[in-house]
A = this chain, B = another copy of it.
Amino acid sequence: MLNKNVQTFIACDAEYEDSKIVLFGAGFDGTTSFRPGTRFAPPVIRSESFGIETYSPYQNKDMLDYSYFDSGDLELPFGSVERTIADIKQRSDTILDDGKLPFMIGGEHLVTLGSVKAVKERYDDLHIVHFDAHADLRDEYLGQQLSHACVLRRCHELVGDNHIFQFGIRSGDRDEFVFAGKHTQMHNFSFEGLEETVEKLKGKNVYFTLDLDVLDPSIFPGTGTPEAGGVTFEELRKAVTLVCRSLNIVGCDVNELSPTYDQSGVSTAVACKIIREMLLALS
B-binding residues in A (CB < 8 A): 1-8, 13, 16, 22, 24, 29-37, 39, 43, 46-47, 50-55, 57-58, 62, 69-73, 75-81, 83, 91, 94-95, 98, 142-144, 146-147, 169-174, 177, 188-189, 216-219, 221-222, 225-229, 233-234, 237, 260-266, 269-270, 273
Contacts and interface: CB of A to CB of B under 8 A. Distances in A.
A228 B51 contact: no
Given A2-B91, A227-B273, 19 more contacts: A1-B98, A2-B69, A2-B95, A5-B8, A6-B6, A30-B30, A30-B79, A32-B78, A34-B50, A53-B173, A55-B172, A57-B189, A58-B170, A77-B142, A78-B142, A219-B228, A226-B269, A228-B266, A228-B273
B265 A226 contact: yes
Contacts of A221: 264-266
Nearest to A14: B4
Contacts of A54: 173
Given A37-B36, A77-B142, A78-B142, A174 B270 contact: no
Contacts of A81: 79
How many copies the complex holds: the figure is 6
B217 A52 contact: no
A137 B23 CA distance: 32
A222 B264 CA distance: 7
A270 B73 contact: no
| Residue from A31, A228, A262 having most chain B Cβ neighbours under 10 A | A228
Given A1-B16, A1-B98, A4-B8, A264 B79 contact: no
Given A144-B78, A218-B266, A4 B228 contact: no
